[in-house]
Amino acid sequence: MTEMTTTRTYCPQCGSEMWPDHDTVNKVRVFVCTKPTCLYRTYPDYPRRAGNQEVCYLCGKIFTVRQDSAGVLCPHCKVSMQKNRNKPRNRTCSGRNITLAQQLLSA
């Protein structure tokens, strides 16, 4: 018989044992304290980060946010997105450049 080993997790607030649970709203694992007056929750699937750090929506990396910035993209993804926005979006039609607005008006 194979004996199943489980690691116990203890509450950082009160020291009671924590039980695994499933957060149905966020669809992630969560550990809940068993003490009814504490009920502290930890989310092991979320990356740990400081108060001045954020998770990039595109690549998922943790980056430091300045106080005057409300960014959700890391600097690398922000630069690549700016490059994509600055590319000309002209379409060629029979050898001449036609902008998208002109093409829609002529249709």
Question: Over 18-38, what HEC string results?
Answer: EEEEEECCCCEEEEEECCCCC
pLDDT band at 101 (very low <50, low <70, confident <90, very high): low
Say which range, 27-31, 62-66, 99-103, has the weakest mean pLDDT.
99-103
pLDDT tens digit sequence for 33-72: 989 899 898 888 776 777 788 878 788 788 888 777 666 7
Contact 91/100 with Cβ under 8 angstroms?
yes
Count of domains observed in the chain: 2
For 43, half-sphere exposure in the C-beta direction (CA atoms, 13 angstrom radius) is 11
pLDDT band at 1 (very low <50, low <70, confident <90, very high): very low
| Gap between the Cα atoms of 64 and 62, Å rounded | 7
Is residue 13 domain-shared with residue 35, that is, in the same domain? Answer: yes
Q: Is residue 92 part of a domain?
A: no
With vertex at residue 43, the alpha carbon angle to CA 47 and CA 66, rounded to the nearest 5 degrees, is 35
Task: Give the range of the structural domain holding residue 53, as residue numbers without chain letter.
Answer: 48-86
Percent of the chain with pLDDT over 70: 69
